[in-house]
Structure 1
């Protein structure tokens, strides 16, 4: 469907460009091996690659693509968290954070009237970090809604002692929604993308 495909594996994240002669033969071979295309052809599981891809296209709805992209991003973020060696938790609710580390997050939860769950929570000796992560390959109203929501969390959490809100996001969808992202960037100190993680942002943040 697209000429640029975001992928990640144990070696990290990369974007394959099929509309330009920027990928080497070795990179194409690596892509086909890891995606299983070589296996499909070699074992005669499919007779026509074109027909197979067409069938995959029909079977993929937009929500499915978004969910896969989101899960890939979560896995990538988790891999960089693990490299820091700090204690961390997945999908942790505000109430659990408050009870475990005796931190009042009432300003985020509107005095306990709303529920909130962070994708990751990292605990260092000095601070607790609540982390949200997502990846948007295409534009849409969801991006603007997310940016506004996280801008509010950033503002509400600024005065919470011993706690910091972190947002990790990426994807071409932000090009059209960059103004909303910029508004959040102006109030959220810890806003990162994939390149930032590759450059060691978490090691600096959690040190």
Structure 2
């Protein structure tokens, strides 16, 4: 509904301005940006394949069902996709030295690391969004993005604070958290508590500044 839309991918952040007055006097550079937007959002494909009946209804959320849970799920998946792009950009290869959606028992079986300390005495089968294996370390990674506030943010911050403290007791294991979103504005105190005890917590800006290459060694 807004005339300005901020988008983020591995090329960085781009603010698209779809103000009608601006569109009427667009430069070639602006047009290239709009084409990029249409390609990357899949709108060209939606139109070409006649997947949707009404483009206006689609972008207004009628066909996609933009309920709050749907937004949270999409935001989380988009953050996962973004982090994965940066992992690949840093030179890691899926199935070789980075893995997606690994359970604790998979990590133990593959590299022989005892994760009893973070499995709630063996009763929890925690699944990590990504795992990166380097010569000397196994990095377990969680990702999320919160566009809105709520109790979930405080719960997540407390949970990851505990996970960070527990993982610090395990040799050869490092817990890394990538998170972002304006939703954290309403949960700053809980986030700060986690930040104070957790060495590796980063946002999208850190990803753009090549934090993956700096940390995962």
Greater displacement, 12-21 / 192-201: 12-21
What does the per-residue CA deviation read over 1:147-193, in whole Å, with 9 as the maximum and x for residues that have no partner?
A: 11000000111121111000001111111111111111111100011
What does the per-residue CA deviation read over 1:25-45, in whole Å, with 9 as the maximum and x for residues that have no partner?
A: 333453245435567789999
Instruction: Note the aligned Cα RMSD (angstroms).
Output: 3.1
1:189 alignment counterpart: 199
1:73 alignment counterpart: 79
- Inter-partner Cα distance in structure 2 for 1:59 and 1:191: 32
Q: Give the alignment's TM-score, normalised by structure 1.
A: 0.83
1:113 alignment counterpart: 123
Unaligned runs of 5+ in 2: none
Distance 1:114 1:184, change over 3 A: same
Alpha-carbon contact 1:6-1:13 (below 8 Å) kept: no
1:94 alignment counterpart: 104
Alpha-carbon contact 1:157-1:164 (below 8 Å) kept: yes
Q: Give the alignment's TM-score, normalised by structure 2.
A: 0.80
Greater displacement, 180-189 / 45-54: 45-54
2:189 alignment counterpart: 179
Alpha-carbon contact 1:168-1:193 (below 8 Å) kept: yes
Alpha-carbon contact 1:12-1:76 (below 8 Å) kept: no
Any residues of structure 2 matched to 1:6-155 within 5 Å, and which? 6-9=6-9, 11-14=10-13, 16=15, 25-26=30-31, 27-35=33-41, 37=43, 50-54=56-60, 56=62, 59-86=65-92, 87-155=97-165
- Inter-partner Cα distance in structure 1 for 2:212 and 2:197: 19
Alpha-carbon contact 1:4-1:15 (below 8 Å) kept: no
Where in structure 1 do 4 or more consecutive aligned residues deviate above 6 Å? 38-48
Q: How many pairs are equivalent?
A: 205
Alpha-carbon contact 2:161-2:197 (below 8 Å) kept: yes
Aligned to 2:62, what secondary structure does the other structure show?
A: helix
What does the per-residue CA deviation read over 1:128-165, in whole Å, with 9 as the maximum and x for residues that have no partner?
A: 00000011111111111111100000011112111100
Unaligned runs of 5+ in 1: none
